[in-house]
Structure 1
Amino acid sequence: MSVRNLEHLFAPRSVAVVGASNRPHSVGATVLHNLAGGGFMGKVYPVNPKHDSLCGQTAYPSIADLPEVPELAIICTPAATVPGIVAELGAAGTRAAIILSAGMGALLDGTSVSLKQAALDAARPYLLRLLGPNCVGLLVPGIGLNASFAHTGALPGHLAFVSQSGALVTGILDWAKSRGIGFSKFISLGDSADIDFGDVLDYLATDPNTSAILVYMEDLKHARKFMSAARAAARSKPTLILKSGRVPEGARAAASHTGALAGSDAVYDAAIRRAGMLRVLSTEDLFAAVETLSRARPLGGERLAILTNGGGPGVMATDALVCGGGTLAVLSPATLARLDAALPAAWSHANPVDIIGDAPVSRYVDAFQALLRDEGSDAILFVHAPTAIVSSAEIAEALAPLVRAASRNILACWLGGDTVAPARRIFSDAGIPTFDTPEQAVEAFLQIVHFRRNQDLLMQVPPSASGDPIPQRSAARTVIDAALAEGREMLSEPEAKQVLAAYGIPVVKTRIARTVEQAVLDAQQIGFPVAVKILSPDINHKSDVGGVILDLETPEAVGMAAQAMHRRLSALQPQARLQGFSVQQMARRPQASEVIIGMSTDPVFGPVILFGQGGIAVEVMDDHAVGLPPLNMVLARDMVSRTRVSKLLAGYRNSPPADVDAICRTLVQVAQLVIDMPEIAELDINPLLADGDGVVALDARLRLAPVEAGAHPLDRLAILPYPHELEDSVDWHGQQLVLRPVRPEDGVAHIAFFNALTADDIHYPLFVRVRELQPSQLSRFTQIDYDREMTFIATRPDLEGKPETLGMARVVADPDNLDGEFMLIVRSDLKALGLGEMLMSKLIAYCRMRGTAQISGNALSQNTAMIALARKLHFEVERMAKDQTVRLRLELAAPGRPTMGA
């Protein structure tokens, strides 16, 4: 379930308070008082058999006695009574309820079912939506609805706040009201038995009264549902999240370095980033970021120029910028020349631009205009300390028109108190984000940078992956199935390398030797020098027992090394089983860097991919980035860029740069491996050597876990991958076409397809005249959420062998999978040849398979070809009286079938 019936929660016309009371400080009395005092214009019905009236309202003894069915009910009664009340409300026709009661983890009398589950079971037959239990309630200030027991109300505004913590709800209400911050919705989720983050984000994403969404999160239950909703919300409006629990109490034991490194907070951080949201670390940052982002202009780059009238504040801002990972702009020669002409000889001659404390207003204006023309900077921070030379208000009045007309982001810091208050007010009224300290201003700029980076990842179209190796899935499957059949959890190192090699990941030549003598023979056949490693299912890290010896040059050295390993293992871990030795070719790559690529299984988000600096001290170095599969080259490159080792990989002194593309391809291949092989629970490639010649895996560790009976292989993924199984090859007028889902890598072909369309080709399905496909529009067509939408394209190789898109059929389902809005576009030179019918037939079959109740769309009345095709495919065609459109609708399944994410 998702947004169904949530309109009754957020915009009810009548509210019943079950358990209303006049007992001072009780929940029932407080809720009734808040409803009466909030200005709610709908009807309020107190329900309590002991009273005839409460808070000036007629009270009713039971739900059955109410004069009408309430759209929303607020339940304030003891936990044991809640399931019965929910059943009664559902039978009466109420479709939304808020359960404020706590203690619903207790068991229903005489059963093993919790009260919470019993309430859910009672609500389900009626599609009655439940907020809570154990929540503070809900506030919608725009309609005067205060359906909560909070101690204060909320001001109306355009921010939506969603919180798991009841204590934080009341604290934020107080804090925001004292600062004049208003809200469109203020939601306490409590235990989220039914309505959760995914549901609320889906609703708020299309709420016209909400301009930005703020989230306080402690934990998460339904990762895929959340990721789909969060990505949709972040595409439409700024979505910010404050996630608590950043510091784990202790690292869990794991069979791999990756399992130890990929802690839960790192995974949450990766998920938030992948969803295009911005994470902040404090409540104050949450609201400051909203103000900054709401006033931010498009950010063309990340280089900051600083203009100040004092050296100290400029240095403070620079320190904050560099320590925060920001980029100080290098001013162009032309800008330096303009500043030299406008400023006294003692100016700083660099960024930060210190115009000296005795500057008159004209000097501020000249310097500001010079920076606005600078091609080496993307944003400007203005830092001012008050002086007796000229009033701050005069400077603000002179600069405000320039800032309003600027196309880049301008931020300001007016240091001081009452003296600069008028200047602050002038800048704030001009829509300029204004701060009290240089550090706050720089932090705001970095929030813009981080938000835009995340949005770019959400919108970017990656390059084509046509040159990537095709995985040999059957070869990897054979190795994994054999180990599972033997009841083994750990693959041997050579087996792990076989699996990696099947996915095109370069590995060093490795052989298994069961005896010392066989190790010597294998070394001679491989060729010296070699490395010898111990093989034992009981040893996770071979170096801990001296189980790795490198650079062995002779048969004698190999024999001695193997025997020494055996002795050390017997002495240090006598219970460990020795299965032999792996003998591998030494990789002579003196300028290579050691990195790690791995995978572990997070309890919430499922498989996660890790990249970082490798070697035996990988946990100590703590230099890694985490990402969620599936990955592509854009996402993989972002992961690499977020590590310190990326600077080494870029090259330094006499060390040439490494082949970062090869590293990124390996990340993509590992992500595909763990998608295809759901039995993989942990994986380490450490070290992976990376240099200018590419990459090679020296060591690999892989742990398996059987898939639970009845589980779908993709159930564990937070983001659904590209569905290869939906690809079809068809014969079309003597040509072989492929009908398949669109991929992010189809971006280039999609632009060519768009450019080949006529104006009517675009206008008929989109109802707008479009001259150029913008990047954000392109990403919406090619970077789709396969859990909620589908675009099938017809493609063939062009004369150069590159993929060519001929037509597309697209459907976007609502979160409840009741209706899918479809669109069909075929190149005009290919119409009337059956291509549209093939695409629509495939789309209809897919929607039937996913349980979509119906698909529908609008067409212009002059689009006779589309209307004729719709009739042929058994759509209902309804002419709309108000405009020149027709409504096309095809019923597929009865409501209540599995959702697209099921």
Structure 2
Amino acid sequence: MSTVNLEHLFKPSSVAVIGASNRPHSVGQVIMRNLLAGGFDGPIMPVNPRSQSIGGVLAYPDVENLPVVPELAVICVPPAAVIPVMECLDRKGCKAAIVLTAGLGSTPHDETRSVKQMMLEIATRNKMRLLGPNCLGLMVPPIGLNASFSHQSASKGKIAFVSQSGALCTAVLDWAAARGVGFSHFVSLGECDDVDFGDVIDYLGSDPDTRAIMLYIESIHERRSFISAARAASRNKPILCIKSGRFAEGAAAAASHTGALAGADDVFDAAIKRAGVLRVYTIAEMFSAAETLSRMRPFRGDKLGIITNGGGIGVLAVDALIERHGHLAHLEQSTIDNLNSVLPDTWSHANPVDIIGDAPGERYAKSIDMVLADPNIDSLLVMHAPTAITDPVEVARGVIEQVKTSKKNILTNWVGEATVAPARVLFNEAGLPTYNTPEQAVAAFQHMVNYRKLQDLLMETPPSVPQDFTPEIDKARGIIHLAIHSGRTMLTEPEAKAVLDCYGINTVKTLSVETTEEAVATAEKIGFPIALKILSDDISHKSDVGGVVLNLESGEEVHRAATKMLKNIGKQFPDARLRGFTVQEMVKRQNARELIVGMTTDPIFGPVILFGHGGVEVEVVRDRAMALPPLNMKLARELVEGTRIYNLLKGYRDVPPVNLEELYMTLVRLSQLVVHLGEVVELDMNPLLIDQKGVIALDARIKVTPKVVSDDKRLAIHPYPRHLKQEIVLEDGTKYMLRPIKPEDEPAHYAFMSKLTPEDIHFRFFGSVRELPHSEMARQTQLDYDRAMAFVATVPNGTSQGDIHGIVQVAIDPNNEHAEYAVMVRSDIKGRGLGRILMEKMIEFCRAKGVATFIGQVLPNNRRMLTLCEKLGFTRKYLEDEEVFEVTLPLDQPTKPHA
């Protein structure tokens, strides 16, 4: 994950084409033609040893003879020639290359390396960035750069398109050209051996010429860099994606129901939702959504008002809205009364507001004014069908004039083609989204709704966990390791439940026995009724093979059931290793619902948590939702609300609602288990019973592996770095807990800010700030621990427990080169040394992370901070333009000790 030298790729001042050619229809010929026709104003230098000129431009025999160092090289030579070219470019000092050549991975360079491996080794030496190989190339229309072999060039615009498929790139270019859609960047990634989605998203996220980012994804190579970059960029501009390969031909066998249910496409949906990316399903939908979202005004709610001159098209819009689970606004009676005064008696008297077919621009304007004033209307769709007695352009002008000052989102749908085309031009010029059909207009509105929901998810402060809980990690790991050391990958049911118990997840009492007689004795000890289950490492889904018998009421029934079970399974699975039985008490709860809760490991995104409708019919019902760990209470709630069974859990008729808080807590604890125990690769609680009293797992299975990878490689989202917690004691005896900030800390952060003096606020924010908005506070508390960190000093106990007394935070650039810090200590406790401890904690964290430089900006009158920086070994430079000191600490040297 890095943007190092990407400016040479996307904003080069010179381009060399190695493999340029005059041969018609060759890649080298098309590349040169496109570069020369694009209007690029820097040197374009073709390299071909057999031609004096290419396309009328002087050619050079090799890279060594180029008159200047090319910022960007386009390589279109056969595989065997790629390495000599790369060596020359590296010696020359080139910083970026587009490799169009295919087949490098299958072409050997020497006995141990392919051409691709050697190419990447050369590129790594001096951080040369590579786009491709096997790609279509790159276009940056604002600078006239068309370094591609596409048949169609891209026009200028504000949308960036990034694709793994070269074939789709050409189709999109055709589609966009026919509709006048332009691009800020058009990028074909190819095989993503160096420059990947995460790198490009990071670059485009801060590019002022890019208003929206569109992605075509076939597979994700670097999951964490993708999610981190997308989460950061999507806070600033819309990101939309199309994902191919949504339907698998078949699922691999899994040891649990969770593993069988967790399709790759469902996991991808969960991942991009966590990253704030909006998914669409067609090219037309993608461009429509990008245009809509890039023009979107602040979004206030999801209730839509509709004004139309035709009842039929209004009804079509409502049908489309309801089909997409949208919300049609209800008009206030006062709004209806106001409309009665300006509309014909035959108007619809409801939403959609049908103002009758002969409505001129003036009637539209008056209706719009009254409808927008209705507090129930969040956004407005204005529709028009051409008639013989109205002018679509005149009506459009009336609409445009009326909505100029509106703060609500306005969408337009002028139905038809030739007659209404001039009106659509006016809407585009006025910056009002316009659509050809009612369905397209409603889809655009729902894109706004869904995008707003994603943004709210990124910004929403999660509630605190209702109760403190410390899991027994070592005990759980000990149970798992005993199974692994005995050569097993599946825990027994009692072992699985013991692991869940270590994380406070309620399970039914379960005992294992070896013989029929022991089963009878244990059942009598537990008390009837009981459930009897077969115990075998070779049988995972016990109920599928007759390995579960419920509601046994006596010892005789237990004996008969056990005997019959052994006989039947012995016939069906003679090779199965039977270890005996498990005996457990029957749990009977009136009105309880059966759920499934579990986790599995996706090959791309790693561990994923599943929740849904449970029981023996779980694969048939297939009502489930998924989320990536780690989870908090907010994310757990979102996961549950993503299923159909959620509506049943809320209660209905005489059935009371279940204890949802306990369910959310169970999901959070499962998430903790997944984060802590890398040995667990699959887990299943099915059924998990829930009612108004709480939850209890009736059955559990856990699959484990001895091959544990680090969290950095295992989890797609960086978990909370609990290992960085540290208790400290100041010289005056004051105790604090230093720990990374959590999203749940937002209320405490507000309280901390309220205790700062105006001078402290000025020193921190270089101005007067009364209160940070929620959006900004969310950015400071909801961190991607891969690229940002904040440590808070909190009171560990007493009546002020949890209060924040100091905070230090850094933003780390994607290249891990520098960390920019900010530090604040509560005004009433300054002078005790807390500020220095916070700074030293953060400096050591950044040093361990490999950050090169620790930097900050300090106002000249902030003497206390300048003195602290001097003691810590910072150098400083005054920036006259900004009237601040820039303080810098290289992290390749230790922090100065206390004086």
Q: Give the structure-1-normalised TM-score.
A: 0.96
Contact 1:309 1:355 (C-alpha < 8 Å) held by counterparts: yes
CA contact (8 A) 2:465 2:665 kept: no
Once structures 1 and 2 are overlaid, which stretch shifts more, 447-456 or 516-525?
A: 516-525
The worse-fitting range, judged by mean Cα deviation, of 307-316 and 193-202 is 307-316
Q: CA 1:417–1:158 in 2, change beyond 3 Å: closer, same or farther?
A: closer
Question: Once the 2 structures are TM-superposed, how far is the Cα of residue 782 of structure 1 from its aligned partner?
Answer: 0.6
Once the two structures are TM-superposed, the CA of residue 421 in structure 1 deviates from its matched residue by: 3.1
Structure 1 match to 2:897: none
User: Quick one: which amino acid aligns to residue 655 of structure 2?
Assistant: S
Amino acid at match of 2:492: S
What is the CA–CA distance in structure 2 between the aligned matches of 1:193 and 1:490, rounded to whole Å? 37
Give the drift of 1:571: 2.5
Contact kept? 2:737, 2:796, Cα under 8 Å: no
Partners in 2 of 1:769 and 1:290 — Cα distance? 36
Encode CA deviations 1:530-574: one digit per residue, 9 max, x unaligned. 222221111121111122222222222222222222222123222
Which whole-Å CA distance do the structure 2 matches of 1:516 and 1:469 have between them? 39
Please name the residue that 2:612 is paired with: 612
Superimposed CA distance per residue, residues 377-408 of structure 1 (whole angstroms, 9 cap, x where no aligned partner): 32222233233454333433333233222222
Question: CA 1:748–1:17 in 2, change beyond 3 Å: closer, same or farther?
Answer: same
Whether 2:463 is the aligned partner of 1:463: answer yes
Cα pair 2:79 2:107 within 8 Å, conserved: no
Offset, 1:343: 4.8
Equivalents in 1 of 2:641, 2:342: separation in Å? Answer: 39
1:661 counterpart letter in structure 2: E
Deviation at 1:876, TM superposition (A): 0.8
Name the counterpart of 2:824: 825
Q: What does 1:750-789 align with in structure 2 at a 5 Å threshold?
A: 750-789=749-788
Bigger shift: residues 555-564 or 675-684: 555-564
Deviation at 1:362, TM superposition (A): 5.4
Aligned length: 892
Aligned positions of 1:169-208 closer than 5 A: 169-208=169-208
Deviation of 1:366 after TM superposition, in Å, equals 4.4
Match of residue 713, structure 2, among 703, 712, 715: 715
Residue aligned with 2:255, SS: coil
- Displacement after TM superposition at 1:809 (Å): 0.8
The alpha-carbon distance between structure 1 residues 798 and 490, as it changes in their structure 2 partners (threshold 3 A), is closer
For 1:73-125, what per-residue CA distance to the aligned partner results, in whole angstroms no more than 9, with x for missing partners? 11111011112211221111111111111111223244131211110011211
Match of 2:658?
658
Match of 2:868 in 1: 869
SS of the equivalent of 1:777 reads: helix
Paired position in structure 2 for 1:858: 857
CA distance 1:348–1:656, change in 2 (3 Å)? farther
Q: Which residue of 1 aligns with 2:745?
A: 746
CA contact (8 A) 2:361 2:397 kept: no
CA apart distance, 1:624: 1.0
- State the AA in 2 paired with 1:2: S
Q: Which SS does the other structure have where 2:73 is aligned?
A: strand
Post-superposition Cα deviations, 1:479-514, rounded to whole Å, max 9, x if no partner, equal: 111111111111111211111111111111221122
Alpha-carbon distance between aligned partners in 2 of 1:513 and 1:355, rounded to the nearest angstrom: 77
* Helix, strand or coil at the partner of 1:154: coil
Find the aligned partners of 1:382 and 1:798 in 2 and give their Cα distance: 58
Q: Which structure 2 residues correspond to residues 185-334 of structure 1 after superposition, within 5 A?
A: 185-334=185-334
For 1:594, the equivalent position in structure 2 comes to: 594
Moved more, 769-778 or 331-340: 331-340
**Residues in 2 aligned to 1:645 and 1:335: alpha-carbon distance in whole angstroms:** 38
Tell whether the 8 Å contact from 1:16 to 1:73 is kept in structure 2 after alignment. Answer: yes
8 Å Cα contact 2:132-2:192 kept in structure 1: yes
Q: Indicate if the aligned counterparts of 2:685 and 2:700 stay in contact, CA closer than 8 A.
A: yes
Task: Return closer, same or farther for 1:232/1:356 CA change in 2, 3 Å cut-off.
Answer: same
Secondary structure (helix, strand or coil) at the match of 1:231 reads helix
1:104 and 2:104 are equivalent in the alignment:
yes
Q: Which runs of 5+ in 2 are unaligned?
A: 894-899
**3-state SS in 1 of match to 2:715:** coil
What amino acid does structure 2 have at the position aligned with 1:3? T
The DSSP-based 3-state class of the residue aligned with 2:795 is strand
Instruction: Provide closer, same or farther for how the CA distance between residues 385 and 235 of structure 1 changes in structure 2, counting only shifts above 3 A.
Output: same
Aligned to 2:559: 559
- 2:723 alignment partner, one of 705, 722, 725: 725
Deviation digits for residues 39-76 of structure 1, max 9, x if unmatched?
11111211111122222222111111112211111111
**Greater CA deviation, 449-458 or 552-561?**
552-561
3-state DSSP class of the match of 1:28?
Answer: helix
Q: Which residue identity does 1:723 align to in structure 2? A: P
Match of 1:898 in 2: none
Mapped contact 2:688–2:697 kept (Cα < 8 A): yes
Q: Please state whether the residue corresponding to 1:598 is helix, strand or coil.
A: strand
Give the drift of 1:181: 1.5
Aligned residue for 1:370?
A: 370
Deviations 1:642-677 (A, max 9, x none): 111111111111111122222211111111101100
Q: CA deviation at 1:323?
A: 1.6
Secondary structure of the corresponding residue to residue 595 of structure 1? strand
**Deviating more after overlay: 92-101 vs 770-779:** 770-779
Distance 2:614 2:309 in 1: 46
Q: Which whole-Å CA distance do the structure 1 matches of 2:824 and 2:293 have between them?
A: 36
Deviations 1:562-592 (A, max 9, x none): 2222222123222222212222222222212
Q: Map of 1:360-759 to 2, 5 A cutoff?
A: 363-465=363-465, 467-708=467-708, 711-732=709-730, 733-759=732-758
- 1:581–1:858 distance in 2 versus 1, CA, 3 Å: same
Q: Give the aligned partner of residue 789 of structure 2.
A: 790
Structure 1 position 451, deviation (Å) = 1.0
What amino acid sits opposite 2:840 in the alignment?
Answer: S
TM-score, normalization by structure 2: 0.96
Structure 2 residue aligned with 1:899: none
| Greater displacement, 121-130 / 578-587 | 578-587
Q: Indicate if the aligned counterparts of 1:108 and 1:118 stay in contact, CA closer than 8 A.
A: no
- CA RMSD between the two structures: 1.9
CA deviations over 1:510-529 (Å, ceiling 9, x no partner) = 21122222222222222222
Larger mean Cα displacement after TM superposition, 659-668 or 360-369: 360-369
1:357–1:651 Cα change, 3 Å:
farther
Unaligned segments of structure 1, at least 5 residues: 895-902
Secondary structure of the equivalent of 1:463?
A: coil
Write the mapping of 1:792-807 to structure 2, written as runs, cut at 5 A: 792-796=791-795, 800-807=799-806
Residue 896 of structure 2 corresponds to which residue in structure 1?
A: none
Task: Confirm or deny: 8 A CA contact 1:277 1:455 kept in the other structure.
Answer: no
- 8 Å CA contact 2:278–2:450 kept in 1: the answer is yes
Asked if the contact 1:309/1:354 (under 8 Å) is kept, the reply is yes
Letter in 2 for 1:232: A
Distance 1:374 1:546 in 2: 62
8 Å Cα contact 1:156/1:183 also seen in 2:
yes
Q: What is the Cα deviation at residue 609 of structure 1?
A: 0.7
Aligned to 2:839: 840
Cα 1:144/1:417, change in 2 over 3 Å:
closer
Distance in 1 (alpha carbons) for counterparts of 2:852 and 2:133: 31
Cα 1:598–1:339 change in 2 (3 A) is farther
Query: Match of 1:628, as an amino acid?
Result: L
Who is 1:897 aligned against?
none
| CA pair 496-440 structure 1, distance change in 2 beyond 3 A | same
Pair 1:431–1:68, CA change in 2 (3 A): closer
Change (3 A) 1:581 1:307: farther
Please state how far the C-alpha of 1:429 moved relative to its aligned partner. Answer: 3.2
Name the amino acid aligned to 2:145.
L
Q: Residue 198 of structure 1 contacts residue 230 of structure 1 at CA under 8 Å; is this kept in 2? A: yes
Q: Deviations over 1:807-827 (max 9, x none)?
A: 111111111111111111122
Contact 1:91–1:126 (Cα < 8 Å) also in 2: no
Structure 2 counterpart of 1:164: 164
Q: Structure 1 124/558 Cα, relative in aligned 2: closer, same or farther at 3 Å?
A: same
Q: Percent identity?
A: 52
